[in-house]
Amino acid sequence: MNHTLARRPFLALGALSLAALAVAGLSLPGSAFAVVNSVKVGAILPLTGQTANFGQDTLNGLKLALEKDTSMPKVELVVEDTLGTPAGSATAVNKLISTDKVSVIIGEVASSNTIAASAPAQNAKIPLMTHASTNDSITKGKDFISRICFIDSFQGEVMAKFAKGELKAKTAVILVDSDSDYSRGLRDSFKAAFTKEGGKVVEEISYSQKDTDFKAQLMKVRKEKPDVVFLPGYYTQVGAILRQSAELKIKSKYLGTDGWSGEDLFKIAGPASAGHYVSNHFVADDKDPKVQAFAKEYQAKYGKVPSDMAALGYDAAYFIKNAVRTADSSDPTKIKDAINGTKNFQGITGTISLDANRNAIKSAVVTKTTTTGFVFHARVNP
């Protein structure tokens, strides 16, 4: 699936003042305006498949940012549907590079998909910046691969310390998606941190992304009666697990991660979605003025509350424009260098600085689930 947005009126050239750009959330380099007129940007997103909520929300955020910021460089955005699979992600990147001749790529969402996409991007020396893939290994040894989200070793530690500190949990069961690099990485980081804090992981139980019935795994959870269940998975399976857990009258609190954030979670889980704690990049009821301004704009445009993926997509658009402006070029290598050198970018999802491994150093939020969405609970700094 190919969506070329460059010819739409909202991408017409224009100029914004420094003050207006600052309000928009864009951190400018030393010079106000770049000479480069335009850049072709690819985006690889799961617009169909099990994580389609993530892809559509990201695309909404990207489009909102590009509609709002009409300053140079003009962005020609070419979007490819990854189908939510590693193979589809690699195919999408290869097309964007060989056929569309993009200078930089945004995406994917799921870590396994971004890992598959990163090899052809690195080989072709085209920068790929993921806005949402958190597995620690993604950027290692690949100087053209970067991210503007936090990493799993931080996210897992956040939830382990929250479990021990605020929930006073002594025991935990981990339910892990055996098909997912994302889930396995979070399992490892949570287990290490929870154990270090004095907690005990009494059982690790696996499931597959193809599973729809989780009662066999949940019977083991019920037998153990842990204080918390750490469930680092994606919303489709998580929703079913929460619903079936309630049917089995399991009383343990569930702890989740950013993979929970698809809106379909609440449709699938129903009343069982309430009362759990989830680490995330963003939540719309955060009182930060930048968050509130963005949430108001997004809701006016799309008629719904923005998710973390929408906010990350919005940040990604501004971040890439900032890098192109800093590079003053559409040359992929120069854009890569500008991305990798970014410090103190003021985004909707937090202040973003890339470290030596091209990972974002930024805060996380802990949210609490209701029957309809997520509400702010606490902010945790790295």
Helix (H) or strand (E) holding 346: strand 345-347
> Which structure tokens are listed for 53?
């909520």
Claim to verify: residue 27 and residue 131 sit in the same structural domain: yes
Asked if residues 154 and 202 have their Cβ atoms less than 8 Å apart, the reply is no
Pairing status of strand 277-280 against strand 345-347: unpaired
With DSSP H G I counted as helix, E B as strand and the rest as coil, what are the percentages for the chain, rounded to 5?
45, 20, 35
- Kindly report, residue by residue over 159-214, the tens digit of the pLDDT: 999 999 999 999 999 999 999 999 999 999 999 999 999 999 999 999 998 999 99
User: pLDDT digits over 44-92, tens only?
Assistant: 999 999 999 999 999 999 999 999 999 999 999 999 999 999 999 999 9
Nearest alpha carbon to residue 79 among 122, 33, 48: 48
107 and 146 within one domain:
yes
Cα–Cα separations (whole angstroms), residue 213 to 216, 233, 276: 8, 15, 21
Cβ atoms 319, 75 nearer than 8 A = no
Residue 178 in domain = yes
Residue 141 backbone phi and psi in degrees, to 5: 70, 15
Q: What is the pTM (predicted TM-score) of this model?
A: 0.89
Residue 372 lies in a domain: no
Which of 249, 280, 311 is a domain's end point?
Answer: 280
CA–CA separation, 137 and 4 (whole Å): 31
- If asked whether residues 171 and 247 sit together in one domain, one would say yes
d(CA 249, CA 67) in angstroms, rounded, equals 48
Q: How many structural domains does the chain have?
A: 2
Same-domain check for residues 103 and 185: no
Which DSSP string corresponds to 293-304?
HHHHHHHHHHSS
Which of the listed residues 280, 300, 316 is the one where a domain comes to its end? 280
Domain extent, residue 255, equals 153-280
pLDDT for 15 beyond 60:
no
Domain shared by 92 and 180, yes or no: no
Of the candidates 89, 97, 96, the residue with the CA atom closest to the CA atom of residue 46: 89
